[in-house]
Structure 1
Amino acid sequence: MSGTDDLSWLRHRGPVHAAVTTDDLSWIRHRRLPARATTPAPAPAPPPAATAATSLDLSSGPAAPPPARSTSLDLSGGDTSLDLSGGSGTPPPVPAANTSLDLSDRTTPPPAPARSTSLDLSGEATQDPVPFAPPPRATPAAAPPVAATPAFTPPRTHDSAPTVLSPRRPSVQLTRLQSGIGALTFEAAWSPDDGFVLGCAYQMDSGWSSVLRPGETFGPLAFDRRAGHQRLRLDLLHGRHLQRLIVFGVPAADPGPHWAGTLLISTHGHARVEIPIDPPAPGPTVLLSLYNVDGEIVLRAEAQTVPGRIRDACLAFGYDRIAWRDADTAIPPAT
């Protein structure tokens, strides 16, 4: 019997608790206890945190009055008080449009100067500053100019050996020292000495031009004899006014096919220049020409025989300002 009673109780478990279950669900749906419940009602929830305003209101419109317990930091308008008390005082009215954070007593800033970029902090007014000029850019140092290589290097004399002028090497240029100190000597080295007579035609920088024969003298030029040989001497101290000259020879008689000679030129420093002379042909032969080039003397071997007379030889080399008495005799310059 006891077993049967127990099983029947289990079969009817649902209906037994149905009333209780129904009552419980209805309490959950209605969020309250039944009227017969004795459990005390829960305490009301606290108000939301939004009621305590802590915002920094900078809007331009009129702000709503804060709640009773306000801790906001209102810096709008001209009021600079920091109200953190729990009082219920009403805040001052907010201006219509003012979002400035100026905490000073003035309500408007002082006007700025019209056109001034000066950093002067003094109270005096200053003029417009001078425009800034950048410093000049440093330029790299220029390289020293390289001396240009001359296109032509004239041949010079040598102290160790005489300089021989020939058709392959016809000219030589004396230095300024050789062209300005002492005398330049032209000496005839042949025999018989009177078989080939020397003479010269010259031109000065004044334009004067004439012919000099043995035994004559003019200015820096002098014809004399040394050890029985004809000699023409040019004083270089006074010869700076000499522009050019030629030295010529005239055969007095037929010297023969085996005749030979040399014209010797010596400087004050014993530098020597030699010009070999072949047997002369009939007529005057221009042996040497001299030019004063910027204070330096240039000597050139000519060995040029000109058919005719002495006047013809002078004209062939450009001496056309000489006054002639006859074809072989020039009028000497006035002394």
Structure 2
Amino acid sequence: MSGTEDLSWLRHRGPVHATTTADDLSWIRHRRVPAGATATATRTAPAVPTTPTPAVVPAVPVAPPDTSLDLSGADTSLDLSSGSGTPPPAGDTSLDLDLPDRGTPPDLSVGGTSLDLSGETTQDPVPFSAPPFTTPPAAAAAVAAPAAGPPAFTPPRTSASAPTVLSPRRPSVQLNRLQSGIGALTFEAAWTPDEGFVLGCAYQMDSGWSSVLRPGETFGPLVMDRRAGHQRLRLDLLHGRHLQRLIVFGVPAADPGPHWAGTLLISTHGHARIEIPIEPPPPGPTVLLSLYNVDGELVLRAEAQTVPGRIRDACLAFGYDRIAWRDADTAIPPAA
């Protein structure tokens, strides 16, 4: 191997022939001193290859770059006006685009914030005041609209403290839903002699069936009987919701006399009491009371209407025209 700097022999595992040169240090790998070399040999630095020195070129002085931001010496004007053509003086950095003279510049001293460029004398700013709150039209209309008044018609009701008397000045009363749907509604003849004025009723159901009920007869929720010697009509309200309307009439069996008087008493399950005074009846049937079912509430009205003729005539006068008659006073009972 040639050359003092060639150390490629380190990669080979074969035997190495050591040289006696002072720069050959291959014996370190083999742990022994090569033949002909001394143990005190010192390592010398390998020779550094020399490179040719380039020719010297005379240096040309270069001015350092100008990093100053001072624009005082440069023409930075953006004036695009077509004036006299005279360039602006040095240091003029105006962006004036040949606009008209705006007068005295705004005062930018401490406390002055006006940006008015009109050249007029600045005035004190007007203090801001919020506009007054205005109610929207819809809300204003709702506020201005008067409160809803009571309904146009308030039906008369019964009183728990005193009986309700039906008269020509106050002929009707309307029961509430509890009075119209709980227990029974009782019509009782309070007069003497009891046989002087015989009670009866004509009724119409929501199915369209219509007929007449006489003393001792029963149909559905209606019962005609006696209580304590007095005639009585009883309406069972539990089953009476199918009842549309009825009338209670009286037929004089004999002449009761000019001094005769009586009262038709109506009582509810809650012991509310309604009274209808009865005057001496003229000949012929007299319709004493009418009852109507209005949306689940019963309306009672004192009629005191005498109809010349027979019972059939009285029923037809109040619109009961679907009743089948055996004769002028006897209706055909409904089928069982």
Query: Is 1:56 matched with 2:75?
Result: yes
Inter-partner Cα distance in structure 2 for 1:236 and 1:221:
9
> Aligned-pair distance for 1:177?
1.1
* Partner SS, residue 265 of structure 1: strand
> Aligned-pair distance for 1:147?
4.6
Give matches, 1:1-335, under 5 Å: 56=75, 58=77, 72=90, 147-335=148-336
* Alignment deviations for residues 40-92 of structure 1 (CA, whole Å, 9 cap, x no partner): xxxxxxxxxxxxx957364689x999xxxxx95699xxxxxxxxxxxxxxxxx
Inter-partner Cα distance in structure 1 for 2:172 and 2:136:
49
Greater share of helix: 1
Inter-partner Cα distance in structure 1 for 2:173 and 2:313:
26
* Alignment deviations for residues 238-285 of structure 1 (CA, whole Å, 9 cap, x no partner): 111111100000011111111111100000011100111111111100
CA 147–333 in structure 1, closer or farther in 2 if over 3 Å, else same:
farther
CA 64–244 in structure 1, closer or farther in 2 if over 3 Å, else same:
closer
CA 139–170 in structure 1, closer or farther in 2 if over 3 Å, else same:
same
In structure 1, what residue type is equivalent to 2:328?
A: A
Inter-partner Cα distance in structure 1 for 2:299 and 2:92:
109
Inter-partner Cα distance in structure 2 for 1:194 and 1:279:
14
Inter-partner Cα distance in structure 2 for 1:257 and 1:73:
134
Inter-partner Cα distance in structure 2 for 1:139 and 1:294:
41
Inter-partner Cα distance in structure 1 for 2:251 and 2:210:
20
Number of the residue aligned with 2:65? none
Inter-partner Cα distance in structure 1 for 2:321 and 2:226:
29
Inter-partner Cα distance in structure 1 for 2:239 and 2:136:
52
* Partner SS, residue 232 of structure 1: strand
* Partner SS, residue 315 of structure 2: helix
Q: TM-score, normalised by structure 1?
A: 0.59
* Alignment deviations for residues 2-49 of structure 1 (CA, whole Å, 9 cap, x no partner): xxxxxxxxxxxxxxxxxxxxxxxxxxxxxxxxxxxxxxxxxxxxxxxx
* Partner SS, residue 269 of structure 2: coil
* Partner SS, residue 273 of structure 1: strand
* Partner SS, residue 178 of structure 1: helix
CA 57–282 in structure 1, closer or farther in 2 if over 3 Å, else same:
closer
In structure 2, what residue type is equivalent to 1:330?
A: A
Runs of 4+ in 1 over 2 A off after TM superposition: 53-61, 71-75, 138-148
Inter-partner Cα distance in structure 2 for 1:73 and 1:225:
129
In structure 2, what residue type is equivalent to 1:320?
A: D
In structure 2, what residue type is equivalent to 1:56?
A: D
* Partner SS, residue 308 of structure 1: coil
> Aligned-pair distance for 1:160?
1.2
> Aligned-pair distance for 1:148?
4.4
In structure 1, what residue type is equivalent to 2:261?
A: A
> Aligned-pair distance for 1:293?
1.0
Inter-partner Cα distance in structure 1 for 2:208 and 2:315:
15
Inter-partner Cα distance in structure 2 for 1:219 and 1:278:
31
Inter-partner Cα distance in structure 2 for 1:73 and 1:314:
121
Number of the residue aligned with 1:43? none
In structure 2, what residue type is equivalent to 1:264?
A: L
CA 178–147 in structure 1, closer or farther in 2 if over 3 Å, else same:
farther
In structure 2, what residue type is equivalent to 1:316?
A: A
Inter-partner Cα distance in structure 2 for 1:139 and 1:206:
55
